[in-house]
Structure 1
Amino acid sequence: MALWDRIKESAQTMQTQLEAKKNDLKSGAFRDASMAMCALVAAADGTVDPSERQRVAQLITTNDVLANFPADDLRQRFDQYLDKLVADFDFGKVSVLQEIAKVQKKPEEARAVVRIGIVIGGADGQFDADERGVVREACHSLGLAPSEFDL
């Protein structure tokens, strides 16, 4: 199987797992951690071009799992986290990882946040090394083994 096909299949699998838990994923902490994860993946290489920002924002607002939250609210939170990362990636990453870690005590939410990172990272068919690296870091901040997600 080609690498692109494996990435696409993995993202689809993660989305299916997320949809199965959708009704359990309604907390404010999950919302914030998810948007922090989306921003972290979008800025994984240290830069974010406007088309990438728009693409991720569109994925956020059309994702069924995140439909529990108002789209404008999600977009605003995503933009806030992304702005922190763009202003100073290293400092912003610390702040964003702290936000992600707030769901650590809720294993289902923590795993869902990681899955969202994988879905966002693989949405363009290229879950690159930088994206995998930041999702792996998020796993560590959540106390989850990256190997659980094939990272």
Structure 2
Amino acid sequence: MALWDRIKDSANTMQTQLNAKKNDLKSGAFRDASMAMCALVAAADGSIDPSERQRVASLIATNEVLKNFAADDLQTRFNDYCSKLTADFDFGKVSVLQTIGKTGKKPVEARAVIQIGIVIGGADGNFDKTEQGIVREACYAVGIAPSEFDL
């Protein structure tokens, strides 16, 4: 199986698992951590170009699990996290990882946030090493072994 197909299958599997837990994923901490994760993956290489920002925003708007929240609220939070990361990537990353880390007390939410990162990273069929590294850091922030997600 080609690498492209494995990445696509992995992202689809993660999304299916997320959909199964949709009713458990309604807290503000999950909402905030999910948007932080989306921004972090979008900025994995240290910058966010407008087309990448639009692609991630589109994925957020169509994600079944994230439909638990108002789309305009998600968009605002995503944009705020993107702004933090583009203003000063290293400092913004610390802040964003702290937000993600708040879900560590609830393993279902923590795993879901990591899965969202993988879904967003793999949506273009190229979950590259930089994106994998960012999601790996998020795993440490929530107290989950990256190996659980083959990272």
TM-score (norm 1): 0.99
Cα-to-partner distance string for 1:46-76 (whole Å, 9 max, x where unaligned)? 0111000000001001100000000000000
Give the CA RMSD over aligned residues.
0.4
Alignment of 1:89-128 (within 5 A): 89-128=89-128
Q: What SS does structure 1 have at the residue aligned with 2:26? A: coil
Q: What SS does structure 2 have at the residue aligned with 1:103? A: helix
Counterpart of 2:132 in structure 1 is 132
Counterpart of 2:148 in structure 1 is 148
Counterpart of 1:38 in structure 2 is 38
Q: What SS does structure 2 have at the residue aligned with 1:116? A: helix
In 2, Cα distance between equivalents of 1:123 and 1:64? 15
Counterpart of 1:29 in structure 2 is 29
Number of corresponding residues: 151
Runs of 4+ residues over 4 Å off in structure 1 = none
Q: What SS does structure 2 have at the residue aligned with 1:124? A: coil
In 2, Cα distance between equivalents of 1:109 and 1:17? 12
Counterpart of 1:74 in structure 2 is 74
In 2, Cα distance between equivalents of 1:2 and 1:58? 26
In 2, Cα distance between equivalents of 1:129 and 1:88? 21
Shift of 1:149: 0.5
Cα-to-partner distance string for 1:7-31 (whole Å, 9 max, x where unaligned)? 0000000000000000000000000
TM-score (norm 2): 0.99
